[in-house]
Amino acid sequence: MSGSGDVHYHDYLQLDKILNAQFPESDKLNASAHDEMLFIIIHQAYELWFKQLHHEADSLVAIMRQPSLNDNSPELQTVVHRLNRMVVILRVLVHQIDILETMTPMDFLDFRDMLRPASGFQSWQFKLLEAKLGLKFEYRHGKEYYTAQLRQEHVDLIKQAETNQSFLQLVNDWLERMPFFDDAEAWKELSPSKTNDIHPFWVAYTNSYSNSLAEAEKNNLEAFHEVMFEHKETHYTLSAKANRAALFIMLYRGYPLLQLPFQLLNNLLEIDEQLSTWRHRHMNMVHRMIGTRIGTGGSSGKDYLKSAADKHYIFKEIAQLTSFLIERRRLPQLPKAIEQKLGFAAPSNSPEGGRTHSTRPA
């Protein structure tokens, strides 16, 4: 083996540091609190998984930041693969609560007061991950004090992440580069011209969507126009153009070229779902453990966690697009030239029979 010598499992994993990194407060006071060891190890495991989530998120940002991204390439496959890994890790974080809930409220009370003012509210890695993915400062619950208990170096990291381009913003840029609507000639068979500067596909789709709504859902049409075309509000991260691209991907995901883009979007929704599940499980566990008492960090306990769980959805703009889906049988028939591009079909004049693909230039 090349390098500095043989690698030993114990040394490679730095087990001396890891296995000797648990210092229960109850031991320092000669108090009996058997479950404090479990409490420490569970939270250390959380922070290690947060570190891995940062490792994945940083790599995704680096890939998506490129000026062009081939939608039929190993790079997009890598993005989807790592997003899926993040989803699986988040599921593990949810299931770790099962282990923590083997501790009873009386077991927790054996050492709870010794922890003040330490609190999960001080997990800077979690707040930093939210910022990197795209949770805006103005959408945070309790934004006036969400960094109040953090050390300044950790506050600086979070504030810097909030000013950097988030993963959600990079997804917006990627969606905006969808090339399929740029070929005016290909769309002529659907409609000979634009209507009020709206692409012929969206003229046809708007009509189909309107006809699909029940009488009680007619207000959805106004929301559809706002999200897909008008954008009168200022709170959006995704542009109207990006929303149209994302909805098109959801509608026609059966075409080979849209499979990876659809999986990317679906993984974002899954990340939000797992984060929400984790927050609600955490909230219910806290209520079970301490009832209506305040948290060790001074928060309102369950009430704070419930408000954060209800508000902290990072990819909610993508989730809202499901309101604008219609049945497959109502979908506008795509022009043959577009179907060829989406299906990797070889052009009729191509002697090689090679597959076409889409590269989205900046």
Nearest to 317 by CA among 237, 225, 249: 237
Measure the CA angle with vertex 356, ends 354 and 357; round to 5°: 140
Q: How many CB atoms lie within 10 A of CB 278?
A: 20
Reading the block at residue 15, the tokens are 């087990």
* Percent of the chain as helix, strand, coil, to the nearest 5: 60, 0, 40
Tell whether residue 41 is among the known ligand binding residues.
yes
Q: What whole-number distance in Å separates Cα of residue 199 and Cα of residue 204? A: 9
Tell whether residue 40 is among the known ligand binding residues.
yes
Name the band, by pLDDT with cuts 50, 70 and 90, for residue 309. low
Tell whether residue 89 is among the known ligand binding residues.
no
Tell whether residue 262 is among the known ligand binding residues.
no
Q: What whole-number distance in Å separates Cα of residue 324 and Cα of residue 262? A: 16
pLDDT for 260-300, tens place per residue?
999 999 999 999 999 999 988 888 888 888 775 655 544 55
Q: What whole-number distance in Å separates Cα of residue 355 and Cα of residue 341? A: 9
The DSSP code for 210 is H
Name the band, by pLDDT with cuts 50, 70 and 90, for residue 154. very high
* All residues at 6 or more sequence positions from 274 whose CB lies less than 8 Å from its CB, including other chains: 87, 90, 91, 93, 94
Mean pLDDT of the chain: 87
Contact 250, 325 (CB under 8 A): yes
Domains located in the chain, CATH noted: 33-360 (1.20.58.480)
Pick left, alpha or beta for residue 360 (phi over 0 → left; psi -120 to 50 → alpha; otherwise beta): beta
Percent of the chain beyond pLDDT 90? 64
Q: Which of 19-28, 119-128, 317-326, 338-347 has the lowest mean pLDDT?
A: 338-347
Reading the block at residue 155, the tokens are 């506050």
Burial of 110 (0-12, 13-18, 19+ CB in 10 A): middle
With H, G, I as helix, E, B as strand and everything else as coil, classify residue 198: strand
Asked whether residue 2 carries a pLDDT value surpassing 70, the answer given is no
Tell whether residue 63 is among the known ligand binding residues.
no
Tell whether residue 282 is among the known ligand binding residues.
yes
Burial of 228 (0-12, 13-18, 19+ CB in 10 A): buried
Residue 230 or 232, more confident: 230
State the pLDDT at residue 4: 65
